[in-house]
Amino acid sequence: MSGNKPYTLAGRAVTGRPVPDKQDVAAAPCIFCGRVIKHMNDGGKGWLCGSTEEGEPREYLYCDQPQCKSVKVAEKGRIVIWRCGCVADYVENVGDNCHACGCPREKAVPYDTDECPLCGKEHEVFERTPLRRMKCRATKKVLEYNNNRWKEVTL
């Protein structure tokens, strides 16, 4: 692991690896457990996320379907792999900045909407902190998604 981060980027980038014929993504080590995995589209269990290494945006794989024990431990109580809505659908990231648009995590573009349990309207969902949140426009209250439900939080 690098520093206090629960993942390792050095030597694990998909970026720059040769892609075998009839595959979408090159196999690479999971940034959490280090096991070499294939992308889900290629029959593996890996999912792409991005980060910036040595000032360059790069893509990596992590065990997602199913998640390895190392991902589960890293994600316990916080979101390490976070989303930015700067591209169609969204991109997943680890680290402080979005690998696609470069924005810092605290200014990540909302990537989805969900129904607010306070007012019943759809609001943007963002992962600017280690937890998934939305701000209700009607009540101005912040909600956090935890244990499969939205709950009001005081900041």
Which residue, among 46, 43, 64, 50, has the nearest Cα to 15 in the 3D structure? 50
DSSP string, 17-74: SPPPTT-SS--EEBTTT--EE-BGGGTSSEEEEEEEETTEEEEEEEEBTTBPHHHHHH
Q: pLDDT tens-digit profile of 17-69? A: 999 999 999 999 999 999 999 999 999 999 999 998 888 999 999 999 889 99
pLDDT at 155: 67
Q: pLDDT tens-digit profile of 8-25? A: 999 999 999 999 999 999
pLDDT at 143: 92
Give pairs for 14-23: CB < 8 Å, separation 24+: 14/48, 14/58, 14/59, 14/60, 14/61, 15/58, 15/59, 16/58
pTM: 0.83
Report the alpha-carbon distance of residue 94 to residue 62 in Å, rounded: 11
Q: pLDDT tens-digit profile of 95-105? A: 999 999 999 99
